Amino acid sequence: MADLLRSNNPVLKEKAFAGAISTGETMTIQGTVNKTGLLLLFVVVAAAWTWGLGHSETPEAAFPWMIGGLIGGFVAALATILKNNWAPLTAPFYAAFEGLALGGISAMFEKAYPGIAIEAISLTFAVLFALLLAYKFRIVQATRGFRLGILIATGGIMLLYLVNLVMSLGFHRPMEFLYAATPLGIGISLVITIVAALNLILDFDLIERGAAMGAPKYMEWYGAFALMVTLIWLYLEILRLLSKTRRR
């Protein structure tokens, strides 16, 4: 059973479900979908606030909200991962905080590249629905080899970002190829975007298996939270990729 519940999404590990079998109301796929919709609503409402500030006469006013959103989102995510039974409370906070950050970030990209935000949003949801259909009709399946490959790829990307963060903060020498609008830079962004997208397949698979196991009802919020983590990562990577192609 443990092998069946492996996911490279750090918030959807099998230990999140271990020992969580419920004797009362249980997790359902439809319930998880409904809660994902609610979290998306929280993201959109919060993002609208910082988006508006970013397009006001004093766009710098959005910056404190963005920083607060990033910090608050990290704390809420950490709390949700460590205490998954808190998810009904912490997942909405995570979504709202991330919305504050995304609204400001999107506004900055939009000013530099008009129209890029709606393109990134459209592509993110297009990828989500395309992969959901591919998973539903078993065109793509989360086999053991598939899961292992995505796990290794995602781990490598996270390590790359960590090294870049250390070099940026500690040595003021970030990895330029991660930001450059060169064929190499665009190619790297494209690969990272594909890996982020394929994480959705593993998330769908784990949620389906959690529901089949009879996980407790609060795990619907946890599953929705995990999907939001992947969707937000995917959106940011698409935004970065589009900005590089615009610069070309």
pLDDT over threshold 80, residue 93: yes
Average pLDDT over residues 78-92: 96
φ/ψ (deg, to 5) at 55? -105, 10
Q: What pLDDT score does 248 carry?
A: 72
CB 142 within 8 A of CB 201: yes
Q: How confident is the model at residue 12 (pLDDT cuts 50, 70, 90)?
A: low
What is the average pLDDT value for the chain, to the nearest integer?
90
Residue closest to 28 by CA, chosen among 220, 167, 245: 220
Mean pLDDT of 234-240: 97
Buried b (16+ CB within 10 A) or exposed e, 17-28: beebeeeeebbb
Query: Mean pLDDT across the stretch 27-38?
Result: 96
pLDDT digits (tens, 9 = 90+) for 1-11: 333 333 445 55
pLDDT at 247 over 90: no
pLDDT at 20: 54
Query: pLDDT of 180-198, one tens digit each?
Result: 999 999 999 999 999 999 9
Q: What is the pLDDT of residue 2?
A: 33
Residue 169 CA to residue 29 CA, distance in Å, equals 42
In the chain, where the domains are located: 9-247
Query: Which amino acid, residue 239?
Result: L
- Comparing 17-21, 137-141, 221-225, which segment has the lowest mean pLDDT? 17-21
How much of the chain exceeds pLDDT 90, in percent? 83
**pLDDT tens profile 153-187:** 999 999 999 999 999 988 888 899 899 999 999 99
DSSP 196-247: HHHHHHHHHHHHHHHHHHT-BTTHHHHHHHHHHHHHHHHHHHHHHHHHHHHH
- The string over 120-130, giving b where at least 16 C-beta atoms fall within 10 Å of a residue's C-beta and e elsewhere, is bbebbeebbee
Question: Rounded mean pLDDT of 10-14?
Answer: 53
Q: Is the pTM of this model over 0.85?
A: yes
3-class secondary-structure state, position 20: coil
